[in-house]
Amino acid sequence: MATLDIKNIRKRYGELDVLKGIDLSLTDGEFLVLLGPSGCGKSTLLNMIAGLDMITDGEIRVDGRVINTVHPKDRNIAMVFQSYALYPNMTVAQNMAFSLKLRGVSVAERQEAVAQVADLLQIGHLLDRKPARLSGGQRQRVAMGRALVRNPSIFLFDEPLSNLDAKLRIEMRTEIKKLHERLGTTVVYVTHDQIEAMTLATRIAVMKDGAVQQFADPQTIYEQPENLFVADFIGSPPMNFIPALVVSGSSGPELLLQGDERQIRLPLNHHGRPGQLVDRKSVVLGIRPEHVTKTEEGPGPADRMIVEGRVDVIEPTGAETLVVFRLGGVDVTAKARPKDVVHKGALNKFAIDMSAIHLFDKETGRRL
């Protein structure tokens, strides 16, 4: 295990800033997921930790030791690549033992290490096969085994599941989580899949355009997104965003939803920070689909507001039904139970849980 400290890391290619001052710190045994869309800089950062790419500014420390100029083979960091990167002319056992052979480890020690890791990953029956005779999931296990035999202080994973089919991805995701819990090794994992991030990470760094937008545990990022980008990127289906205006009401500030002919007002009660909800301020109302539900009932508690919207799309998924309707001039997705009666093309009643709403500044995108 090892600590990892990334201080003000920058990467430039000529005039192009790829990484713009990244600061992250991990304690022993943490599982960090670098999450973001393609081109945000997450793989570049991973390569810099591994020593495969040079740092323009800043420093990387492992257990307090600066490793900026340390050769990759001397960093005691193992990397699992997206493409597996197995040698096709070697057997599974030879692939797994190759790095130990390069380091001068004896044959007996290599065989013992390979046997232990093969037993851990349940690939002992594959040791005499070559990569061409393996399935995608088996190749991924071998790639992980090759990293494990080195007993590294830090594991790096670069989108390791992206080449697998949906069912196998779920299985391998579970195996990686079990492996981390068993070994307790520090992990840095790159993905653009927010489900992988939420299920695997102890902490997530959400990245966009070479900068970290939020660095926190998965539940905090889901429940308290720092800005519109994070709120939109995390969650499936994604969060609903409705343009609104803060207006004065009889019992305090209210939200006036814009874009509809009908005037829809939602009381804010205690939402927002003092001084931020000024009258006539343009905001974006964020509400996750699970907090918009189908209902036929009248008004309930103060934190539950009933609205009407015309349903355009109904998407049954088995366990639940996704319903798309118009509210505030935009499409809003709600979650309904399979037995709920939803009338397509007609006005339907929906309940909004006002205790679960998010407000964002329309100009800056920051959370209010």
Residues 195 and 244 in one domain: no
Average of pLDDT values for 11-15? 93
In terms of residues, how long is the chain? 368
% of residues, the chain, pLDDT over 90 = 75
Q: What is the DSSP pairing of strand 282-287 with strand 321-327?
A: unpaired
Out of 205, 233, 261, a domain closes at 233
Per the structure, the complete domain to which residue 280 belongs is given by: 240-361
SS3 call for 213:
strand
Does residue 67 lie within any of the structural domains? yes
The structural domain count of the chain equals: 2
308-to-104, 185, 311, 325, 348 alpha-carbon distances in Å = 72, 51, 9, 9, 5
| Within-domain flag for 368 | no
Q: How many CB atoms sit inside 10 A of residue 345's CB? A: 8
- Band of the pLDDT at 271, cuts 50, 70, 90? low
Q: Please indicate, yes or no, whether residues 205 and 352 belong to a single structural domain of this protein.
A: no
Does one domain contain both 59 and 85?
yes
Pair (121, 199) in one structural domain: yes
Say whether both 33 and 144 belong to one domain.
yes
Residue 275 lies inside a defined structural domain of this protein: yes
Q: Do 75 and 220 fall into the same domain?
A: yes
Residue where a domain terminates, one of 233, 261, 287 = 233
Q: Give 76-104 pLDDT, tens digit per residue.
A: 999 998 888 899 999 999 999 998 998 89
Q: What is the average per-residue pLDDT within 54-69?
A: 96
The verdict on 266 and 126 lying in the same domain is no
- Residue 333 sits in a domain whose CATH number is 2.40.50.140
366 occurs within a structural domain:
no
CATH number at residue 97: 3.40.50.300
Residue 275, pLDDT > 70, answer no
Q: Phi and psi dihedrals of 193, rounded to 5?
A: -95, 110
Residue 367 within any structural domain of the chain: no
- Residue 345's pLDDT band (cuts 50, 70, 90): very high
pLDDT score for 187 = 96
Which of 43, 61, 27 has the alpha carbon at shortest distance from 202? 27
For residue 345, give the amino acid letter. Answer: G
For residue 327, the one-letter residue type is L
The answer as to whether 103 is a domain residue is yes
Query: Looking at the predicted structure, is the pLDDT value of residue 73 above 70?
Result: yes
**pLDDT, mean over the chain:** 91
Are both 20 and 120 inside the same structural domain? yes
Other Cβ atoms less than 10 A from the Cβ of 344: the count is 13
Shared domain for 265 and 336, answered yes or no, is yes
What is the pLDDT averaged over residues 30-49?
Answer: 96
Residue 142 domain-assigned (yes or no): yes
CA separation for the pair 116, 124 (Å, rounded):
9
User: Do 293 and 163 fall within a single domain?
Assistant: no
The pLDDT tens digits for 199-214 are 999 999 999 999 999 9
Answer whether residue 277 is part of any domain. yes
Last residue of a domain, one of 233, 268, 303: 233
Question: Does residue 275 share a domain with residue 193?
Answer: no
pLDDT at 130 over 90: yes
Residues 255 and 357 in one domain: yes
